[in-house]
């Protein structure tokens, strides 16, 4: 995917993407319904002589559409975590294709859970003084499960590395 292929079997090859519950069709339906409601409301206000209210109702729909589009775009990034006997690789991709790659030898990589953040514990991979946050898009329970699976994959990869 990025750079040279990793040697040996994968003990973990996970792709994490943020969950977005509103599909493109759902977005169109939601904005359409809100627009129709605002048009009906605006007609009532124009009938009673409050001509500026429809402007604010229109701004309301535009602001909601912009917020939903921004939320959807922020969810288009992805995170890939790969573990082999030789190395642990984390590839962070933005929706524009920019990539950040973090690698470390499997034998020296630690999995740590730090503090109690708003969404749960912060999961990090650490090597000496370098570290990277992973699985930020997951909920607390999913992040804890992922931490256990990642730790298990690293332990299995280490065992294979020492056996081979």
Give me the CATH number covering residue 136: 2.30.29
Residue-wise pLDDT tens digits, 41-95: 999 999 999 989 999 999 999 999 999 988 888 777 889 999 999 999 999 888 7
Domain match, 45 and 86 both: no
- Please check the confidence at residue 34 and state whether its pLDDT lies above 90: yes
Of 54, 74, 94, the last residue of a domain is 74
State how far the alpha carbon of 88 is from the alpha carbons of 12, 104, 128, in Å. 9, 5, 14
Q: Which two tokens stand for residue 23?
A: 């599909």
Nearest to 87 by CA among 9, 146, 152, 164: 9
Q: Is residue 5 part of a domain?
A: no
- How are beta strands 78-83 and 99-105 bridged, if at all? unpaired
Which residues constitute the domain of residue 65?
Answer: 24-74
Mean pLDDT of 22-35: 92
**Using 50, 70 and 90 to split pLDDT, how confident is the model at 2?**
very low
Domain match, 92 and 146 both: yes
- Please check the confidence at residue 162 and state whether its pLDDT lies above 70: no
Nearest to 157 by CA among 74, 85, 62: 85
Q: What share of the chain is helix, strand, coil (3-state, %, to 5)?
A: 45, 25, 30
- Please check the confidence at residue 28 and state whether its pLDDT lies above 60: yes
**Using 50, 70 and 90 to split pLDDT, how confident is the model at 18?**
confident
- Please check the confidence at residue 98 and state whether its pLDDT lies above 70: yes
**Using 50, 70 and 90 to split pLDDT, how confident is the model at 1?**
very low
Q: Is residue 58 part of a domain?
A: yes
Domain match, 70 and 82 both: no
Q: How far apart are CA 34 and CA 95, in angstroms?
A: 28
| Angle made by CA atoms 132, 136, 140, in degrees to the nearest 5 | 125
pLDDT of amino acid 70: 87
Q: Is residue 121 part of a domain?
A: yes
Q: Is residue 2 part of a domain?
A: no
**Using 50, 70 and 90 to split pLDDT, how confident is the model at 3?**
very low
Q: Which two tokens stand for residue 9?
A: 């079997």
- Please check the confidence at residue 137 and state whether its pLDDT lies above 90: no
Q: How far apart are CA 16 and CA 80, in angstroms?
A: 6
């Amino acid at each position: 995917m990025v750079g040279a292929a990793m040697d040996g079997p994968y003990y973990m090859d996970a792709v994490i993407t943020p969950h977005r519950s509103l599909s493109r069709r759902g977005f169109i339906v939601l904005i359409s319904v809100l627009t129709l409601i605002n048009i009906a409301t605006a007609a009532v206000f124009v009938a009673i002589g409050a001509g500026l209210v429809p402007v604010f109702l229109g701004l309301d729909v535009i602001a909601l559409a912009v917020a939903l589009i921004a939320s959807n775009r922020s969810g288009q990034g992805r995170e890939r975590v790969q573990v082999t006997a030789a190395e642990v690789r984390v590839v962070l991709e933005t929706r524009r294709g920019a990539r950040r790659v973090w690698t470390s030898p499997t034998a020296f990589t630690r999995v740590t859970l730090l503090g109690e953040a708003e969404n749960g514990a912060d999961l990090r991979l650490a090597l000496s003084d370098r570290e990277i946050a992973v699985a930020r898009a997951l909920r607390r329970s999913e992040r804890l499960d992922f931490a256990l699976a990642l730790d298990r994959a690293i332990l299995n990869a280490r065992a294979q590395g020492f056996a081979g």
